[in-house]
Amino acid sequence: MVRNRTVWAAAALITATLGVAAVPAQAAPAAAPQATAACPTGWGSLDKTYTTSSTEPVRNVRTGRHDCYDRMVIDIPGAGSEDLGYSVRYVDRIHQDGSGQYIPVAGGAILEVRVHAPSYDPETGQPAYPARAGQPLPGVNITGYSTFRDTRFVGSFEGDTQIGLGVRARLPFRVLRLAEHLVIDVAHTWGTTR
């Protein structure tokens, strides 16, 4: 009798094991798709201006790449955010103030960046920013940028500094006034994700 129970117990254990092995394992739940970084929208591509001016001169221009946009920063040490006037707009061509000389800028579209601050010391007339009209911005390398294609110093005349920024296409942009810095961000796309 004990032997029959042992055989039956062994048979039941084998059947149970085979039954579990025959049931397909459930697939692990699929990982949730990773969220794509949301890029800002609503900047638009129309002209942006703020009317005021600074006697503090432009000292430097630099650029940087971000997930959703390319950035240009114009450094004006000593200027408060309320002192930073500007006009940034898309143009077909850029002409230097004063002379009217055409300055070619490469790209699918051109932003004229006008800062209401000189690039020279107003008291001495000496250059504060070592740029030359018609030449790329000194120290700025935009190789590999998603949006920026060209940078050109246009000139500085009667307290305004002009810069040509060539971009891939007419894309949305914004302008930020921070203490001592004017920031221009140009989006990589018109969409809401990168």
Residue 40 lies inside a defined structural domain of this protein: no
Residue 101 lies inside a defined structural domain of this protein: yes
pLDDT band for 163, please (50, 70, 90 cuts).
very high
User: Dmax over Cα atoms in the chain, in whole Å?
Assistant: 116
Instruction: Please report the sign of the dihedral spanned by the C-alpha atoms of residue 52, residue 112, residue 140, residue 100.
Output: negative
User: Is residue 8's pLDDT more than 70?
Assistant: no
User: Is residue 111's pLDDT more than 70?
Assistant: yes
Task: Output the pLDDT for position 19.
Answer: 45
Q: Which single residue is written with the structure tokens 């998603």?
A: 146
Task: Output the pLDDT for position 12.
Answer: 45
Task: Output the pLDDT for position 172.
Answer: 96
Whole-number Å distance between alpha carbons of 12 and 160: 93
Q: How many domains does the chain have?
A: 1
Residue scoring higher pLDDT (78 or 36): 78
CATH number at residue 118: 2.60.40.3500
Residue 31 lies inside a defined structural domain of this protein: no
- Residue 65 belongs to what domain range? 48-187
